[in-house]
């Protein structure tokens, strides 16, 4: 459903070259959530951008079943237009993703209801709080019912309660088994993403220095493994 093979990408040239991806490979199927932990500058965002097709890797390839239409992206920026209402934003993005015109309105209503934002549909985005704007961003990412979700530090800027709420929501959205979505979550904070993960990777200087199923490991065990593998606190940088 989502596979990466031998990804390599570097920025800059010569002595100033920064390797953002170095031999990253994995294969994820329905219902799997890969949490990629790493300090700032480890190459997590570059990995997501390569998976989303925003950056063409210098080496390696990415395969996404369903192509770009299958991808939903949630980052710390909402991609929403402040002076459009939440519904207008969703209808615009739905049209770009090829949702049939007759389905766009009902689909927007359905997604907003699911996210508990039905009563905010006609509010302009600029009037929403940070937490609600993040929900609206999730609604935007889900409007075309993507089978692959890419999450880039989605908890940034949220308070503890809003972050917990978002984690619960993402867990629900992920689904499970053959009908579930593939999720790749990149974060520098082990506590934020470990509950959602079926698989865990630690990224350092572009490389996956650890990549394994999470198994029954809790956040403290993952954090300890992270410290051993990466050699610092998860909140480095």
Partner 1 sequence: MGELIAQAWRVARKDLVLEFRTRTALVSAVVFTALVLTVFNFGRDPTAVPTIDLAPTILWVTFTFAAMLTLNRAFQLELENQALEGLLVSPLSRTSLYWGKLIANLVFVAVVEGVGLPLFVLFFDVPVGHVLAPLIGVIALATLGFVAVGTLFSALVMRTRFAELLLVVILLPFLVPPLIGAVQVTARLLGGRPLSESVGYLKLLAAYDIVFVSLASLLFRFTVDE
- Which residues form the interface with partner 1 (CB under 8 A)? 49, 52-56, 67-69, 71, 73, 75, 77-84, 88, 92-93, 95-98, 125, 140
CB of 232 vs partner 1, minimal distance in Å? 28
Minimum CB distance to partner 1 smaller for 38 or for 57: 57
CB of 166 vs partner 1, minimal distance in Å? 17
Minimum CB distance to partner 1 smaller for 83 or for 103: 83
The DSSP-derived string for 25-85 is: EEEE-TT-EEEEE--TTSSHHHHHHHHHTSS--SEEEEEETTGGGGEEEE-SS----TTSB
CB of 68 vs partner 1, minimal distance in Å? 5
Minimum CB distance to partner 1 smaller for 136 or for 230: 136
CA dihedral 99, 72, 170, 196 (to 10 degrees): 140
Question: Distance between CA 19 and CA 41 in Å, rounded?
Answer: 10
CB of 93 vs partner 1, minimal distance in Å? 7
CB of 89 vs partner 1, minimal distance in Å? 9
Pairing of strands 71-74, 148-152: parallel
Specify the DSSP element, H or E, that contains 111: helix 101-114
Closest CA to 36 of 220, 233, 193: 193
Minimum CB distance to partner 1 smaller for 71 or for 200: 71
Minimum CB distance to partner 1 smaller for 50 or for 163: 50
Percentages helix, strand, coil for the chain, rounded to the nearest 5?
40, 25, 35
């Amino acid at each position: 459903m989502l596979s990466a093979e031998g990804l390599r990408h570097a920025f800059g040239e010569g002595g100033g070259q920064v390797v953002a991806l170095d031999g990253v490979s994995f294969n994820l199927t329905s219902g799997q959530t890969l949490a990629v932990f790493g300090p700032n500058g480890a190459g997590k965002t570059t990995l997501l951008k390569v998976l989303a097709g925003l950056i063409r890797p210098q080496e390696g390839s990415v395969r996404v079943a369903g192509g770009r239409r299958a991808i939903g992206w949630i980052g710390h920026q909402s991609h929403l237009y402040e002076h459009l209402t939440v519904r207008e934003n969703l209808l615009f993005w739905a049209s770009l993703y090829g949702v049939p015109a007759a389905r766009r309105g009902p689909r927007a209503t359905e997604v907003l209801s699911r996210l508990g934002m039905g009563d905010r549909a006609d509010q302009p985005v600029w009037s929403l709080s940070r937490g609600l704007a993040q929900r609206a961003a999730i609604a935007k990412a889900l409007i075309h019912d993507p089978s692959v979700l890419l999450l880039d530090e989605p908890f940034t800027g949220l308070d503890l309660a809003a972050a917990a709420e978002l984690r619960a929501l993402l867990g629900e959205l992920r689904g499970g088994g053959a009908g579930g979505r593939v999720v790749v979550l990149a974060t520098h904070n082990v506590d934020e993403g470990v509950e959602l993960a079926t698989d865990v990777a630690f990224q350092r200087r572009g490389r996956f220095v650890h990549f394994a199923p999470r198994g029954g490991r809790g956040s403290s065990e993952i954090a300890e493994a992270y410290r051993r593998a990466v050699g610092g606190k998860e909140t480095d940088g």
